[in-house]
Structure 1
């Protein structure tokens, strides 16, 4: 089973344009993410898929693998174009703005497919429990609810589940935007037309649910920093500074 990682990287992010080329210590965000994924040694190959010459050149200049793509609405669509001619079985989509993702969560994702002997699962992703109300109510944190078997029922930027019944303490989970696809499922995903719920929420994995497909969610306790706004970049810089000083 050949397993690769692909990091979709768009320069013009709507909430923080150019964030992937911002500096974290001596490296850019995208170079930091790329090197951290390579350093896990979990993948046969690691690629960055981008429509930006600046990002493409950044990865090439550090000796990395980069693929130029056309413009796409979602990272998964971009990755589907990038891997169309790459020989692989499993494709792990690692977000370019999650520079501190570690080995263990990625190992958990990959194990889903290694344990799925009958190849019934085509997509898996990660979730982490939320406890702070400001995180639960933050629309930049995509929440997910699952069934008893751990398959996603819905994703939303709103508070789900809504705590109408206060005698029961609801549990809340943030979706971490790291996906693992079977290559065929990823290529099929890219052929599917966006539907109203995905368009409304701006959450690409809803497309799978709208077409009746299943997403296996794996819980992790790893807390990273997704760089969505400039304040997140400062948090990431502080983490890196503390790490270097420890």
Structure 2
């Protein structure tokens, strides 16, 4: 039984076309994510899952393993196809976002260890304390509320928990009550396959958050808290800043 890291990858991107293949730094953006995932010692294997022959060719050139899939509505469905084809050799599947080139391998390790150490839990994910009002108010930044055991109670684009009697800015310190959800997931194999067979749930459709489908089925999601988040590349400005950082580090 093995732990497989899967990076779902597609060509289409509304705000930054072909972003995973951008290579102004000398290598494609996707390669940075793949290299970081390969550095995580809790992963036995790392596979890029894509329906794009262009992406597949690029991954092959930089030495990565690739699995060609059909078209899917989400990255979760895409990795589920690969896991299903791999059969029972997979025990845990880790969904890694391809557009996060600075992802910390230690966070991937923490994600896997969290699931391994919680036998009654179906999946795990990450959160980090929110210490900026701009993040707290931003609906594109998902928040998660957990119980005393660190299991997710709810995910929302809204500010949860709501602060009724205090100015939220006064609480954004080392003891911040708010957690930013990070879109990195580890699934037990059978649960991933079951989850992707279900239609989108009521709350999932309202919030546009896939993880709510799991909660609505009664699944347990363990949340590991980490100190920082990696920055995703979504816009031309994001990529330009990434290129600048790489140039400065290389100087």
Query: After TM superposition, is the score higher than 0.5?
Result: yes
Q: 1:24 to 1:120 in 2, by over 3 A?
A: farther
Alignment-derived partner of residue 94 in structure 1 = 96
Aligned with 1:105 (options 104, 107, 111): 107
Q: Distance in 2 between matches of 1:14 and 1:206?
A: 24
Q: 1:142 to 1:14 in 2, by over 3 A?
A: farther
Q: Distance in 1 between matches of 2:135 and 2:194?
A: 33
Q: Tell me the CA shift for residue 157 of structure 1.
A: 2.0
Alignment-derived partner of residue 39 in structure 1 = 39
Root mean square deviation, CA, Å: 1.8
Give the SS at the match of 2:128.
strand
Deviates more, 1:134-143 or 1:176-185: 134-143
Q: Distance in 2 between matches of 1:229 and 1:140?
A: 14
Q: Tell me the CA shift for residue 23 of structure 1.
A: 2.4
* CA distances 1:124-166 after superposition (whole Å, capped 9, x unpaired): 0011111111122222221111111111111122222222221
Q: Tell me the CA shift for residue 244 of structure 1.
A: 2.5
Pairing 1:210-221 to 2, within 5 Å after superposition: 210-221=216-227
Q: Distance in 2 between matches of 1:235 and 1:146?
A: 33
**Residue ranges of structure 2 left out of the alignment (5+ in a row):** none
Alignment-derived partner of residue 209 in structure 1 = 215
Q: Distance in 2 between matches of 1:228 and 1:157?
A: 18
Q: Distance in 2 between matches of 1:10 and 1:151?
A: 31
* CA distances 1:176-213 after superposition (whole Å, capped 9, x unpaired): 11101111111111111101321232221111012121
2:121–2:219 contact (8 Å) kept in structure 1: no
Give the SS at the match of 1:191.
coil
Number of aligned residue pairs: give it: 243
1:193 aligns with 2:217: no
Q: Tell me the CA shift for residue 24 of structure 1.
A: 5.2
State the TM-score, normalizing by the size of structure 2: 0.89
State the TM-score, normalizing by the size of structure 1: 0.91
